[in-house]
Amino acid sequence: MWQLNVMSFVRAIRAVLPTMRGRGSGVIVNVSSTAAKRPSTGMPNYSVTKAAVLSLSRLVADLYAKDGIRCNAVTPGPTATSAWLGEGGLADQQARALWQDARGSTRLRCRRPGRSGAWPSRTRSPR
């Protein structure tokens, strides 16, 4: 997983940097995941590798800004796959975490399928 989810980014960046530096400009956009910021206990390796992509992106941005090169990472949210929707998947894990966290001023609302979506949402009461 490390080779695909991290080292492929490193190799691609190494391949384009000489040309971008010679040109004096360039843009690199890496695709990470929201799992990088909120790790999944069911997919720890995936979460860690996506966090590494965020760190790599920031490092490249800091190192090569002086050469006119920008580097950013996007973090798309859930995609309707078995990893998310399957039994015990990320949706189940998130739902359990949200229910356990629903105390005090935090309320949990679950939308009914077929209405305005099927994803849980958290709202905070104003204080």
Kindly indicate the confidence band of residue 84, based on its pLDDT and cuts at 50, 70 and 90.
Answer: confident
Rama region for 28: left / alpha / beta (φ>0; ψ in -120 to 50; rest): beta
How many domains does the chain divide into? 2
Task: Record the tokens describing residue 22, joined without a space.
Answer: 């010679």
Kindly indicate the confidence band of residue 104, based on its pLDDT and cuts at 50, 70 and 90.
Answer: very low
In the residue annotation, 46 being an active-site residue is answered as: yes
3-49 pLDDT tens trace: 999 999 999 999 999 999 999 999 999 999 988 998 877 789 999 99
Q: Which of 17, 20, 36, 46 is catalytic?
A: 46
**68 & 85 share domain:** no
User: Using an 8 Å Cβ cutoff, are 75 and 54 in contact?
Assistant: yes
Proportion of the chain above pLDDT 70, given as a percent? 76
Q: Mean per-residue pLDDT for 52-67?
A: 97
**111 & 93 share domain:** yes
Q: CA–CA separation, 108 vs 120, rounded Å?
A: 7
**50 & 91 share domain:** no
